[in-house]
Amino acid sequence: MTGAGSGGDRPARLRLFVAVTVPEGIRATVDEAVAPLRAEAPELRWTAAEGWHLTVWFLGGVEPDRVQDVEAGVARVAATGHPFTLRLSGTAGTFSSVLWAGIEPAPMLEELARGLATWFGDEMERPFHAHLTLARTDGARRPLKELAERYEGPTAPWTVRHLALMRSRLAVGGSRYEVCNEWPLGLPSSMPG
Ligand code: ATP
Ligand code: MG
């Protein structure tokens, strides 16, 4: 008899995804812009600012003994890229149950997503649409679109220098995320001399 929800004797899989993290200063200004909406719709599941990220590729459950291979793949794809400027669009949008902050078009981010899709041998299920998840709803109690229209967020740019492998863990009050490892974008420049 196995414990409920456990995989029996098998080691637990890790829920992994590849992402770009959002610097603290940007998170703080987005947090300010989101505060009034949060106050107005406390019934939504609002994400915590400290965990904000942009998912580039979602891996799902990974066996512990496969993590090294995954890391090697992410490192390889990161090396094919280069540092780039990212900026939020200052506007929000919605998927069916998600309220998100948008970003300005970022070809490098799309290239990294395609690289990861190729490396991990999957088709991209749908066109890549980078977004910062602000809130989720379990039902259609409140039209998210109305909140999205009122969001006026920051558009300050930042430089993305790393691709991160992140892990999520289910927790009361929302998933918790941690950076397992990260790799610089681009090959290290050769030392002079
Ligand atoms: P929860 O599932 O508890 O509501 P979450 O969706 O943030 O929280 P995960 O499901 O572990 O936590 O997802 C981790 C990250 O990967 C999130 O940014 C999420 O939006 C993204 N993600 C999850 N599933 C997919 C998927 N099938 N395709 C693309 N991105 C995904
Ligand atoms: Mg999820």
Q: Which amino acid is at 180?
A: C
- Residue 53 CA: nearest ligand 1 atom is 18
> Which residues, 6 or more positions from 86, have their beta carbon under 8 angstroms from its beta carbon?
20, 54, 103, 104, 106, 109, 157, 158, 159, 160
Pocket test for ligand 1, best of 46, 55, 128 (most atoms within 8 A of CB): 55
Which residue has 């890391």 as its token pair?
A: 71
Smallest CA separation from ligand 1 atom 8, residue: 175
- Contact between 169 and 176 (Cβ < 8 Å): yes
- Contact between 77 and 151 (Cβ < 8 Å): no
CB of residue 58 inside a 6 A radius of ligand 1: yes
SS (H, E, C) 117-135: HHHCCCCCCCCCCCCEEEE
CB of residue 168 inside a 6 A radius of ligand 1: yes
Within a 10 A sphere around the Cβ of 140, how many other Cβ atoms?
Answer: 9
Output the tens digit of pLDDT for each of the chain's 193 residues.
Answer: 444 445 467 789 999 999 999 999 999 999 999 999 999 999 999 999 999 999 999 999 999 999 999 999 999 999 999 999 999 999 999 998 999 999 999 999 999 999 999 999 776 667 899 999 999 998 765 689 999 999 999 999 999 999 999 999 999 888 999 999 999 999 876 555 4
Q: What is the pLDDT of residue 2?
A: 40
pTM: 0.91
Query: Measured on CA atoms in the order 119, 124, 129, 134, is the torsion positive or negative?
Result: negative
Within a 10 A sphere around the Cβ of 23, how many other Cβ atoms?
Answer: 13
Q: What is the pLDDT of residue 4?
A: 45
Per DSSP (E only), the strands in the chain are 14-21, 45-46, 53-62, 84-94, 98-103, 132-136, 157-160, 162-169, 176-184
Q: What is the pLDDT of residue 189?
A: 65
Q: What is the pLDDT of residue 142?
A: 66
Q: What is the pLDDT of residue 80?
A: 98
Smallest CA separation from ligand 1 atom 6, residue: 175
